[in-house]
Structure formats: C-alpha cells, structure tokens
Amino acid sequence: MATKIIYFTVNGRPEQAEFPVDCSAQDVKDLFRSAAEAGPHDILKLYNPKGNIINISLSLEPNSPDCCYKLEVVAADCNSEPLGAELAGALGYDLSSLEKSSLLVCGLRLQGLEKNILMEAGETPAAVYEMKKQVESFQEKLESVEHLSWLGLFKDLSEGSHKPSPFYHKRTLHKTRAECEHVREKFLQMSSLEMSEEVRQYLKTPTFDNWQWEDAEIMVLLQVMYTDLDFIVSFNIEPEVLQQFLFEVYRRYNNIPFHNFKHCFCVTQMMYGLIWLTDLKSKMDAVDLLVMLTSALCHDLDHTGYNNAYQINARTDLALRYNDISPLENHHCAVAFEILEKTESNIFRNLSMDQYKRIREGIIKCILATDMTRHNEVLNQFKSILPTFDLTNKDHRDVLMMVLIKVSDISNEARPMEVAEPWLDCLLQEFYNQSDKEKLEGLPITPFMDRDKVTKPSSQTGFIRFVLLPLFIELANLFPCLEQHLIDPVRKALDYYTEMEKALEREKQNRAQSDSAVKSPQSAALPEAGPEASEPEPQ
C-alpha cells in the first residue's frame, strides 16, 4: 500500500508521520494530534517552512527532515452561546452540558452525537447539519491568523488568574533559539491587534495579575505601554524597531525561578502604573519617563540567579570585571546598551546626541540604584530632600527616579496575595538554589537564603517591616494617593506573614514538646497501664 511520510516538529521536537495515501482526512488529523500529545479540546495549527498556516489534510506535500513543517498545539478556551435548543426536543437528547461548553467542545461532542443518531435512526437530521456548520465556521475563524483574540488580549479578566507552576522547569539557563523564535512569531502576529479598553485600564493598576499572560502577550502589553505614554510619537520610535527591542530584551532574560522575563514585566508594569497614579505624565519631562520605563524593563537583564554576594565571594568574571562594585547591576546596564547598539533594536536611534547622552546617564543611574546594598543610601537621600522637594530640580528628580525603580523592583507585596505569594515561592527557590551552591563550593552562606534556617514567613516579616514599609511610606509622603495602593496592601501582607510565622512557631513548639515527651527517660519508665500511670516511678 502506498504511503506518505510527513516530517514536522512539535515544540522543537522532530517527529514524522506516515499514513496511507487513501486514508481519511480525520485519520490524518488524529495522527498529528497523537504525535503532539494534544488533548481532545486542543486546536492544532500547522505551519509550512515559510511560516504560513496550512491545513492538516491528505493534500499535505511530502517533505524532507531538512524542510520540516511546524505543528503547534493551542489549548482551546472560547466560551460560546447555547446552541440548538430546538435540537434537544427534536432528538430527545440532553444537550444542557453541550450548551454550556465552548463551540470547540460542542464540535467534538457533536461528532459522537451524530454517530449515535446514525446508528439509531439511519439518517442525520437537518438540525445536526446546521449545528455542524456553525461549529466548523467558528473553528475556522479561531484557527486563522486574522482572529487571534483567543490568545489572551481580550481575556475575561473577571475569571481571575489561571496560574501555571511559578517555577521555570527548563533544561537550559539561556533560552533556546527555537523557544525564542516561537515566542517571537506569536508576538509579531499579535502586535497589530487592538487592545481592549478594559485591559488598557487594568494595565495601569498595581493589582494587575501577571500570571494570566504568556511571554508573547507580555511583549504586546509592553508595546502598549510605550504607545500609551506617547513615546512612539515623541521620540520617533519605529514600531518594528520597538518590537525588535522588546524581543531582544525578552531573549536576554534567563530561565531562572525569579529574576526572569515575567519579573521584568512586573517591575515595568508597576513603574507604568505609578506614572499614571501619580500623574507624572503631566509633571515630568517625557525623557525622564522614557528613562524610568526602559530602566525597569532592562534592570535585571541576563541575571543568572546568584546575587552580588555570591559573585564577589566566588570571584566570578562579573565580580572581576566590575571590581566587586555592583557587578550584577553593571552587567544589566551593559547588556541593555549592547541591545541598543544594534541599529535594528535601538529605540533611541532617532534622538539627538544630547538626548541620548541624557537617557544613557539616567538608565545607568536607575539600574545601579536597584543594588540592595545601596538601599539605605538612596532612601536617606530621598528623606533629606522631601521637605523641600521640587520636581524642577534635576537632583531631586534623579533621586525620585531611583526611588521609583526601587519601589517597582520590590513591589510584589503591594499586589493581591494570590499574585504576590507565588512570586515569593519563586524568590525562595532562587535563594535556596544559591545557598545550596554556596555550601557545595565552600563559600560563605548568605544567611537569608539558607533553606535550613529560612521559612516563607520569616523571609518576609523583617523585609516588609524594615525595608518595604520605610521606603513605601516615604514615597507616599510625597504622593499621598499611593497610601491605598502601596501601604495598605503591604500592611495586610505583613499581618498575613506574621500570623503564618506565629502558627509555624506554635507548631514547632508543640512538636518539640512531643519529641521531648517521647525521648524523656521518665516517660520511658512509665507503666503501660493502670491508675498509677500519671505518676512516674521513683528513680
């Protein structure tokens, strides 16, 4: 029997499908679905080597391993209106669950329904044909490049977050080329879509939930920030250059638990929200706003998950290169300007030399301020100028910009607990990884990272009380409107972790008392039964 062999990749993994040339179209689709390990509710999208979507059908042209198709699996989650109420009465089938499902699920169930009807009645009623037509029409719309709303830009935000595991389970520290190209392709497909007004307004709030969004979608959201702050027009930034810049930034964040691309987005989104909440758009020069947003975006580029203390103690290349002076932050700056040195990703390429010089100086100052060893220095500077703070004073503005990026960088606890707590899990995982490495290499162990000594609540109570609140309170003294957005949620977080810490301490004490009772020589000498069991025997 003549067969056809098709070579393709699934998430970068090479696969091949072999099927008879006279098999059914459904058999072909089932074969691809099996190879992709796709669920029954997933949409399959097949791309030819040119990147165009093509049908999965018998007419697929045979190819070679060097000229693969690319198969993509997309989880379907598109709710539809109830369909075919009249069909239930006509056929005597209970379609209530069908009506509550998505159109795609309807299509799958409809196939089974049609088979049952054919077996029992011998023919398919017209109502079934009509339903099939509606389902196929909608699915065709979903799978076309022109209708990408299902990818998330028009999410039903009222449904809350659907969090993935917060940890990155990747084999490589750096993103693979296949991983990057997959995200880049999605981003470019979505980049021209119109963002809903609901999402635009939500993006300006500290309550924004990052866990709802994929990396490609996050890049679209970042593009919206640059557009809505009028940077595109004010600084003559070409859209394709901004897109390339955002992609290069995405590419240079590593697959580590905390200091990854999603963290970069959270910091940038908080900075964006603070700009709108404090009305800085009307109070500060656009160049300063551009510096703040871009600094937030680039502030942890190429972070490897090990802090400055480790870099210095381990005498890494970074520590040697920057003479133990903020090695990570200096590196983040350097990587940012490596990206900006490339013409195709230089969003500042149409600015004057004086503008570029000012922006470069501002970005370096902001990113270096995120070194936590400088926390008290920056905070004290800010406190000293607060009584006479003047936005027209450049020195005052510079300190404010440093404070704003610091606040944005450590702002997770100002977010709703369901958003913030997974980030703490990520941070602790990164801390524990470092202390494990320090123990293995015989280096000084960073105290607040030791998995044998640090608990979830103990890591937060001191940090919130002595680092977060003093900084946030000073910023709220300048902008009272931030009291409800920053101070209130952080105080609630402190109460939450204080109670958790007390509960753990009580549990620890109970366990210690229990262990003590078991190990006590007196308890070991107690009689097994009888009324005298409450008194120990004389020693």
Q: Which residue has the higher pLDDT, 90 or 497?
A: 497
Q: CB of 190 within 8 A of CB of 153? A: yes
pLDDT at site 84: 43
Strands (E) in 48-88, as ranges, are 53-54, 69-75
More reliable by pLDDT, 456 or 128: 456
Which pLDDT score is estimated for 51?
77
Hunting for tokens 């990113």 — which residue is that?
Answer: 367
Least confident range of 130-134, 286-290, 357-361, 420-424: 130-134
Q: Write the pLDDT tens digit of every residue in 150-171.
A: 344 555 555 555 454 455 445 6
215, 250 contact by CB (below 8 A) = yes
Task: Measure Cα distances from 45 to 73, 75, 109, 184, 241 in Å.
Answer: 6, 11, 21, 16, 28
pLDDT at 20: 84
Would you say 409 and 267 are in contact if contact means Cβ atoms under 8 Å apart? Answer: yes
Is domain 3-75 annotated with CATH 3.30.450.20? no
Give the whole-angstrom CA distance, residue 362 versus residue 352: 15
* Whether the Cβ atoms of residue 336 and residue 248 lie closer than 8 Å to each other: no
* CATH level 2 (architecture), domain 149-500: Orthogonal Bundle (1.10)
Alpha-carbon distance values, 74 to 37, 120, 152, 356, 514 (Å): 12, 35, 12, 42, 52
Location of each CATH 3.10.20.90 domain in the chain: 3-75
Token pair 């169930």: residue: 109
> What are the angstrom distances between the C-alpha of 315 and each of 120, 320, 324, 425?
77, 6, 9, 28
- Six token digits for residue 264: 């970069």
pLDDT level of residue 13 (50, 70, 90 thresholds): confident
Q: Where in the chain is the domain with CATH 1.10.1300.10?
A: 149-500
Name the residue with higher pLDDT: 505 or 477.
Answer: 477
pLDDT in tens, 226-278: 999 999 999 999 999 999 999 999 999 999 999 999 999 999 999 999 999 99
**pLDDT for the residue numbered 24:** 79
Cite the active site residues.
259
